[in-house]
Amino acid sequence: MIEKYFHLRANNTNIRTEIIAGATTFLTMAYILVVNPTILGKSGMDVNAVFTATAVSSIIATLIMAFYAKSPIAMAPGMGLNVFFAFTVVLAMGYSWQFALTAVFLEGILFILLTLLNIRELIVDAIPLSLKHAISVGIGLFIAFIGLQGAGIIVHDNSTLVTLGNLGSPSALICFFGLVISGVLLALRVKGALLIGIFSSTVLALFMGDATLPQTALIQTPPSMAPTFLKFEWTHVFTMDMAIVLFTFLFVDLFDTIGTLVGVASQAKMLDEKGRFPYVNRALLADAVGTTVGAMLGTSAVTAYVESAAGVAEGGRTGLTTLVVAVLFILSLFLAPLFLMVPASATAPVLILVGAFMMEPVKNIPFADYTESIPAFLTMVMMPFTYSIAEGIAFGMISYVILKALSGKHKEISLVMYILAALFMLKFFV
pLDDT tens string 229-259 = 888 888 877 877 777 778 767 766 776 777 7
Which residues span the domain enclosing 423? 366-430
Tell me the range of 7-11, 34-38, 80-84, 94-98 where mean pLDDT is highest: 94-98
* Of the ranges 134-143, 197-206, 235-244, 367-376, the best mean pLDDT one: 367-376
DSSP state of 290: H
Q: Give pTM, 2 decimals.
A: 0.72
Count the domains in the chain.
Answer: 2
**253 in the same domain as 152:** yes
Chosen domain end from 346, 365, 384: 365
Q: Cβ distance 152 to 165 under 8 Å?
A: yes
Co-location of 360 and 401 in the same domain: no
Mean pLDDT of 396-410: 92
Alpha-carbon gap, residue 367 to 375, rounded angstroms: 10
397 in the same domain as 316: no
DSSP string for residues in 355-422: HHHTTGGGGGS-TTSHHHHHHHHHHHHHHHHHT-HHHHHHHHHHHHHHHHHHTT-GGGS-HHHHHHHH
Residue type at 236 in one-letter notation:
H
Confidence band, pLDDT 50/70/90 cuts, at residue 31: confident
Query: CB of 151 within 8 A of CB of 348?
Result: yes
Give the least confident one: 98-102, 366-370, 425-429.
425-429
Task: Say whether both 360 and 380 belong to one domain.
Answer: no
DSSP conformation class of 224 = P
Confidence (pLDDT) at 268: 66
With beta carbons less than 8 A apart as the criterion, state whether 300 and 36 touch. yes
Position 277 scores a pLDDT of 64
Of 331, 365, 399, which residue constitutes the final position of a domain? 365
Alpha helices in 167-239 (DSSP H): 170-187, 193-208
* Last residue of one domain, picked from the residues 325, 340, 365: 365
Q: What is the pLDDT of residue 267?
A: 66
Residue 183 sits in the same domain as residue 265: yes
Residues 397-425: what's their mean pLDDT?
89
Q: 237 by DSSP, 3-state: which? A: coil
- What is the band of 89 on the pLDDT scale with cuts at 50, 70, 90? confident
Q: Which amino acid appears at position 11 of this protein?
A: N
Q: What is the DSSP letter of 10?
A: G
In the chain, the percentage of residues whose pLDDT exceeds 70 is: 93
Q: Are residues 105 and 193 in the same domain?
A: yes
Task: Confirm if 284 and 125 have CB atoms less than 8 A apart.
Answer: no
Report d(CA 23, CA 17) in Å as an integer.
10
Contact call for residues 289 and 61 (beta carbons, < 8 A):
yes
Q: Tell me what the pLDDT averaged over the chain comes to.
A: 83
Q: What is the pLDDT of residues 113-155, one digit of tens each?
A: 888 887 777 777 788 888 888 887 887 888 788 889 888 999 9
Per DSSP bridges, beta strands 161-164 and 302-304 are: unpaired
Is residue 101 located within the same domain as residue 128?
yes
Say whether both 237 and 379 belong to one domain.
Answer: no
Q: If 0-12 CB within 10 Å is exposed, 13-18 middle and 19+ buried, where does residue 396 land? A: buried
H or E element that contains 111? helix 97-116
pLDDT for the residue 195: 73
How many other C-beta atoms lie within 10 A of the C-beta of residue 247?
Answer: 15
Task: Quickly state the pLDDT bin for 410 (edges 50, 70, 90).
Answer: confident
Q: Say if residue 276 is in the same domain as residue 138.
A: yes
**What is the number of alpha carbons within 13 Å of residue 242 lying toward its C-beta?**
18
pLDDT at res. 77:
87
Are residues 37 and 143 located together in one domain of the fold?
yes
Summarize the confidence of residues 338-353 as an average pLDDT: 79
Provide the 10 A C-beta neighbour count for residue 118: 13
Do 148 and 281 lie in one domain? The reply is yes
Task: Determine the pLDDT at residue 270.
Answer: 67
Statement to judge: residues 398 and 263 lie in one domain: no
What local confidence, expressed as pLDDT, does residue 339 receive?
66
